[in-house]
Structure 1
C-alpha cells in the first residue's frame, strides 16, 4: 500500500473531486446527526447514516475508500466512523458493519494504515467519554 507521502489526497478526476467536495461539506451535519441519535433511538436513527456510508463507498469501484483510493474524504470521516463503530458495539451491542460489507472493508483497510492506527483512541476511554457526555443513563 502506498504511504501517505506517496499520494495526493485530492483526486484529479472531476467526478471524484465533486463527490469528495460534497461529502466533506456534509461531515459536520452527518456527525451532528449521529451524536443526536445517541440521545434517542440510536440504532433506528443512525442506521440510515451508516447505510449512506455503505452506498457512498460503492460509488467508485477502484478501491475500498470513499473515492476509490484513500483521500481527504476518508481522512475527514474515519475518526467519526471509528468512534461510532466502537460506541454502537460496546454500548448498544449493535455492529454497524453487519450487512454493510463495503463499510467493513473500509474499516479493515483504514486499520492497515500506520499513520491512522497511531491516532486511534483507547476503546475503553472512548466508550467512557461518550457515556459521560452523551449517555448519562447508560453509566
Structure 2
C-alpha cells in the first residue's frame, strides 16, 4: 500500500508575490488555468493543497491576492462575488472551495483523492456537509466557554477518525479531499487556541493528534502552511478585538 506521502505529486515551488490594488490584471481566458487565491485564506488553501497533491503546479497557475487591498479588477472583471478561491478554466470562472476541490478531482490528472468504496464515499459526503457547522461552532465559541462550546466539534472529528481503522485519515488509509477540507481550519485553531486560550484541541483526542501529525508529513500541505505568529496576530485582531 502506497503511503500518502508516496502518492504526493507536489514539487518545490517559488511563490509569486501577492497582488494588491495597484497590480495589473493578468490576461483573462488566455488558455492558462488560474487559481485566484490568497496565501493566508483557509478556504483557498483547500484548493491549493489539492492542486499540489495532484501535481498540477505547472498546469494551474496561482494568482495570489492581498485581500485587504485587493485589485478592483478582481470583482469587476474576474469573479463578482469578490471572494477567493476562484478558478479560471475552460473559459469560465467558478468558486466555492468544496466545489473546486471536487472539480479538480474530476477534471484533472493526478493521484485520486476520493475513494471508490461506497461506504467511504457516503461518509465523505457526511463529513463535507459538517464542515460549515464545525467552523461555525468553534469560531463562535471564542468569546464564550471554549471547552464547553467548541469541545463537541473537536469530539466529532475524533469520533469520525474512529470510523475506519485501516489508516490515520478520515477515510482510513487514503488521504482524501475530506482531510483537505478540514486541515486548513484545524491548523489555525490548533495554533491559535493553544497560544491564546491554552486549550489543546488534541488533548484526550488521540486520533485527532495522530491525524494532525500524519497530515503534517505531506509535502503538498506543508507548502501551504501559514506562519504561526502571523496567524495568531491576525486571529487576535479579527476575532478578539
Q: TM-score range by the shorter chain?
A: over 0.9
Matched pairs, number: 136
Which one is further off, 2-11 or 97-106? 2-11
Structure 2 gap segments, 5+ residues each: 9-52, 55-109
2:167 maps to 63
Q: Which residue of 127, 135, 152 corresponds with 1:23?
A: 127
Which has more radius of gyration? Answer: 2
Q: Distance in 2 between the 1:98 and 1:28 partners? A: 23
Q: Distance in 2 between the 1:58 and 1:39 partners? A: 30
1:133 maps to 238
| TM-superposed deviation, 1:36 | 0.5
User: Residue deviations 1:36-89, cap 9 Å, x none?
Assistant: 011211222111111111100110011101011211100100101111111111
Matched, 1:13 2:117: yes
Structure 1 gap segments, 5+ residues each: none
Matched, 1:115 2:220: yes
1:23-102 maps to which residues of 2 (within 5 A)?
23-68=127-172, 69-102=174-207
- Calculate the TM-score normalised by the size of structure 1: 0.93
User: Residue deviations 1:75-131, cap 9 Å, x none?
Assistant: 100101111111111011111101111001100000000110111111111111111
Q: Distance in 1 between the 2:130 and 2:206 partners? A: 23
Q: Distance in 1 between the 2:130 and 2:156 partners? A: 12
Which one is further off, 105-114 or 20-29? 20-29
Residue 168 of structure 2 aligns to a residue in which SS? coil
Output the aligned Cα RMSD.
1.1
Residue 159 of structure 2 aligns to a residue in which SS? helix
